[in-house]
Amino acid sequence: MKVTLNWIGEFLSAERLEPENIASALTMSGTEVKKVEYMGDKYKDIVIGRVVDFSPHPDSDKLSLCEVDIGSSKLSIVCGAKNFKKEDRVAVALPGAKVKDITIRKNKIRGQISEGMMCSEMELGLSSESEGIMILDNSCEVGDSFSKSVGLDDVVLELEITPNRPDCLSVIGIAREISALIGAELITGEYDFQKRLNIDSKFKIEIDDYNLCPRYSAKLFRNIPNIQSPQWLKNRLILCDVRPIDLIVDLTNYVMLETGQPLHAFDKDMLYSNKIIVRRAGKGENIKTIDDSIRILDDDALVIADEDKAVAIAGIMGGKDTKISENTKNVLLESANFYGPSIMRTSKKIGLRSEASNRFEKKIDPMLTVFAIGKFEDLLEKVANFKTEECIYDNFKKVERERKINLRVGKVGQVLGKDIDAGLISGILTNLKISNRIKDNSIEATVPSFRYEDLEREIDLVEEVARIYGYDRLDSIPTSTRDRRGKYSLYQKTIKDIRQALCDIGLVEVINYSFISAESLKKFKINLEDGYKNNVEILNPINEDFKLLRPMLLPALMKNIKDNINHNIKDIGIFEISKVFKKNSSGKLPFEINMLGVMLTGKAAQKGWDEKERAFDFYDLKGILEFICKRYYPYGSLRIKERQYRFFHPRTSGIVNIEDLDVGIIGKIHPVIIEETETGQDAYYMELDMDKFINNIKETQKYKFVPAFPSIDIDLAIVVDNKIKSEDIVNEIKENGTELLKKIRLFDIYRGEQIEKDKKSMAYSLSFRDDTRTLKDIEIEIIINRILESLGKKFNARIRE
């Protein structure tokens, strides 16, 4: 919200408001000042000029040569506009002035000297479009600063008003805050409404539900003057980001900005009868609003209606048919109070937010309605010398708008960590217009109507005291750390360690959105089996790409490598640790599983002066898997079980099994997917369920003796059929190796000239050891013979000569 300092000044007794001090005081008391804009600076070196004479430019049909009096001298100015005449007052930007961020200079235009520029409203930032230059009132003093002459010599504060302070959505509200902060007196003027309330019954207001509309006040203005708003009023609206329209609409906006009470003006003669009904909309009832769109309402919406049809959506926007036009003679001014939540619901439903709805949403003070009508009347008299003897029609249900709260002085100290004197507390509340008296160790406070919604409890008053007293004056007190030890849980620590380990071996961590499109799932054939039904779907996604919560990390990592390949980064190892989501039974929260995804593509090693180039393959990925496994599980816990997945190459696709628990999948991305995603190079991927992986780790490991006796290492090379799997050979060796066999390591695979076609030589290093004695060669010889015999039987293996 924007307010101007001159406007605020009208309601304060202070001599002068120092912008920086005011801004800082507001910010430090909870009304954050986002920006302070010095309009005088913006219009620096723009002065009032008088057109003395003008003639056509000798070299242009469109331009004129003007002589302009600026008091101290007369300037020659080349101008493109035609809408002025001799003696007109105009805004002249002198050399050095900034207009729309361009600095004006003395220069030659088609051979003619131009010593400045005559500005249009658009160039002055006063409207979004304008024809010709701005012609000012003849009362403007030639040579005066432009901003001073038209009331733009002001300071605009851009404020952030928190949702609990609807009372601050107004110039008067802000003035009230400032008065409490700097101790100036608040002057809002006195109105005696009582004698003018409901003295006749020419007009009727009917309220169906006082819960939705606690108060509806209105007043008739007959034969309103058909004039424009004065420039100063327009300018104030402009400074507050409100577009001037016509006198009546401008006045309603002005009063809303000033008091916080939204007003609406109907063309009285367009209403069906002398009766206004505040009621719920009929289901499907529609209304054409002033922005020319047809709004279809449901029965939750509140409308203002005459006896024929709805004429406004309450608190949000008026109807087109009854809107003020240049032909309007008589006006019905509405100043009503609507129930915030209802306005919020409707405004959300029809997707329409306005300055009015924004204020109603936050529950504004029903006491404001007649006050605002009074302000409107005053203003109309001031700008158009218009007076009326009509009464104010006012329909309301009497409600309690005063609240007593007992504030314990000790509580203030307890919450803030600093004892504040009762007298000081009382003074702060008084300045905030909260009447109070000190009694024993408490303060009995009475909350006024304009703070009724926001100050309900003792703690609310503690906050009021704290923010006016100043947070910066409260002490900083170390928190005692008794009984507390901070640390990562085992789970958290393991995740952190795995993340670090993966980075250490060269992988880069990515983080992707949790969203995925249905199309992407189809492309990867994820959840195809259950017809893609098992996904968690968002009812109101930003767009189709963000429609579902992802059940796998795979598509995102695939996209990551593709995007990077497009940037010519082609050798990539990335991982992500994030949650994936699976649908639960209806009404329950979905399952969330913490997943690790690892993707490799491109080269594992670049060609170097001493290194060979090598592409990533399955075994690089499996190596990473083994690397993680080894940290937490004993030797031999990991197995890859062959299993086909639609997104993996049918011959390179498996389940990751650790200690008989399936914890993930691993494989080579299916060539069809590589092609469809236009990735252009092979990729290898695994995804591990971190919850299973970590929860399955045995927490404590017992110490084992460091071997005291040497091991005997035997190398064994056997020739078998190509199709025989290493895992099966290893299992067979283990089977026959006795408990003395401690370790098996494959160290060579050979296919080629020296052995038959379709066969391969597999060379293993076997390590035998006994923890209680030194082994004899003969023992091992017997075991090796047994192993060879069984390998021969089972796989037709023979020892390689």
Partner 1 sequence: MQRSEISKQEAKILFRDNTYKIMSKKEKNIDQLEKKIKTELDNFTRELETVKNLIELDKIRTKYIGKKSFLIKTLKNIGDLPDDIKPIAGKKSNTARNKIESDILKKEKIFKNIEYKNKLRKESIDLSLPGRSTGTGRKNIISQVVEEIEEIFIGMGFEIAEGPEVETDYYNFEALNTPRDHPARSLHDTFFISENILLRTHTSPVQIRYMESHKPPLLIIVPGKVYRRDYDVSHTPMFTQIEGLVIDKGINFGNLKWTLETFAHEIFGKDRKVRFRPHYFPFTEPSAEVDVSCNICGGKGCRVCSGSGWLEILGAGMVDPNLYSFVGYNPEEVSGFAFGMGIERICMLRYGIDDLRLFFENDLRFINQF
549-608 residues in contact with partner 1 (CB under 8 A) are 549, 560, 563-564, 567, 569, 572-574, 578-579, 581, 586-587, 589-590, 592, 605-606, 608
134 vs 502, beta carbon nearer partner 1: 502
Q: Shortest distance, CB of residue 33 to partner 1, whole angstroms?
A: 8
Determine if 410 is a binding residue for partner 1 (CB under 8 A): no
- Report, in Å, the least distance between residue 506 CB and partner 1: 2
Contacts of partner 1 in 181-220 (CB under 8 A): none
541 or 671: whose CB is closer to partner 1? 541
Task: Please enumerate in sequence order all residues whose Cβ is within 8 A of that of 81, keeping only pairs 6 or more positions apart, or say none.
Answer: 118, 120, 132, 133
User: Smallest distance from the beta carbon of 467 to partner 1, in angstroms?
Assistant: 4
Beta carbons within 8 Å of 670's beta carbon, 6+ residues apart? 646, 647, 648, 649, 650
Residue 158 beta carbon to partner 1: minimum distance, rounded to whole angstroms: 10
Three-class SS state of 507: coil
The 302-305 sheet, strands edge to edge: 204-207, 275-280, 302-305, 310-313, 317-318
101 binds partner 1 (CB under 8 A): no
> How far apart are alpha carbons 298 and 293 in whole angstroms?
16
Please state the closest distance from residue 685 (CB atom) to partner 1, in A. Answer: 15
Nearer to partner 1, 26 or 658 (CB): 26
Angle CA 769–775–779, to nearest 5? 105
Q: Are 555 and 524 in contact (CB under 8 A)?
A: yes
Residue of 112, 512, 517, 767 that binds partner 1 (CB under 8 A): 512
By the rule CB under 8 A, 508 interacts with partner 1 = yes
Which of 294, 542, 706, 778 forms a contact with partner 1 (CB under 8 A)?
542
Task: Judge contact between 501 and 596, C-beta under 8 A.
Answer: no
Of 38, 193, 515, 750, the residue at the interface with partner 1 (CB under 8 A) is: 515
DSSP calls for 277-296: EEEEPPTT-EEEBTTS-EEE
Task: Measure the CA–CA gap between 595 and 549, rounded to whole angstroms.
Answer: 14
Asked whether 46 and 91 are in contact (CB, 8 A), the reply is yes
Shortest Cβ 670–partner 1 spacing (Å)? 22
State the Cα–Cα distance between residues 354 and 343, nearest whole angstrom.
Answer: 11
Residue whose CB is less far from partner 1, 486 or 531: 486
Nearest distance in Å: CB 742, partner 1: 30
Q: How far apart are CA 448 and CA 454, in angstroms?
A: 11
Distance separating alpha carbons of residues 637 and 632, to the nearest angstrom: 10
Closer residue to partner 1 in complex, CB, 386/627: 627
Site for partner 1 in 431-490 (CB under 8 A): 457, 459-460, 462-463, 466-467, 471-472, 474-479, 481-489
Task: Please identify, using beta-carbon distances, which residue of 387 and 567 lies nearer to partner 1.
Answer: 567
Q: By CB under 8 A, how many residues form the interface with partner 1?
A: 98
Q: Which of 157, 333, 416, 625 binds partner 1 (CB under 8 A)?
A: 416
User: Rounded to whole angstroms, what are the CA distances from 603 to 63, 253, 617?
Assistant: 68, 67, 9
Interface positions, 36-65, toward partner 1 (CB under 8 A) = 36
Q: Which is nearer to partner 1, 71 or 541 (CB)?
A: 541
The pair of structure tokens assigned to 639 is 């197995």
Q: Which residue number, 412 or 783, has a Cβ lying nearer to partner 1? A: 412
End-to-end CA distance of the chain: 90
Binds partner 1 by CB under 8 A, chosen from 129, 611, 660, 756? 611
Burial of 308 (0-12, 13-18, 19+ CB in 10 A): exposed
Residue 316 is classified by DSSP as T
Interface with partner 1 includes 504 (CB under 8 A)? yes
Strands 155-160, 32-38: pairing kind:
antiparallel
- Would you call 318 helix, strand, or coil by DSSP? strand
Asked whether position 5 contacts partner 1 by CB under 8 A, the answer is no
Pairing of strands 572-582, 591-601: antiparallel
Q: How far is the CB of 250 from partner 1 (least distance, A)?
A: 28
Closest separation in Å from C-beta 321 to partner 1 = 30
In the region spanning residues 299 to 328, those forming contacts with partner 1, defined by CB under 8 A, are: none
Residue span 343-362 as binding mask against partner 1, x where in contact by CB under 8 A, dash where not: -xx--x------------xx
What minimum distance in Å lies between the beta carbon of 556 and partner 1?
Answer: 8
Q: List the one residue from 538, 672, 708, 782 that touches partner 1 (CB under 8 A).
A: 538
Among 2, 19, 27, 525, binds partner 1 (CB under 8 A): 27
CA angle 667, 673, 677 (to 5 degrees): 130
Minimum distance of partner 1 from residue 41's CB (angstroms): 13
Minimum CB separation of residue 187 from partner 1 in Å reads 26
C-beta of 200 vs 611, nearer to partner 1: 611
Q: Check binding of 28 to partner 1 (CB under 8 A).
A: yes
Q: Which one of residues 539, 585, 700, 801 is an interface residue with partner 1 (CB under 8 A)?
A: 539
Residue for token pair 């302009």: 68
Q: In three state form, how does the secondary structure of 134-168 look?
A: CEECCCCCCCCEHHHHCCCCCEEEEEECCCCCHHH
CB of residue 186 to partner 1, shortest distance in Å: 20
Query: Which residue from 2, 148, 165, 743 is in contact with partner 1, where contact means CB under 8 A?
Result: 165
Q: Cα(726)–Cα(183) distance, rounded to whole angstroms?
A: 87
* Shortest distance in whole angstroms from residue 325 CB to partner 1: 33
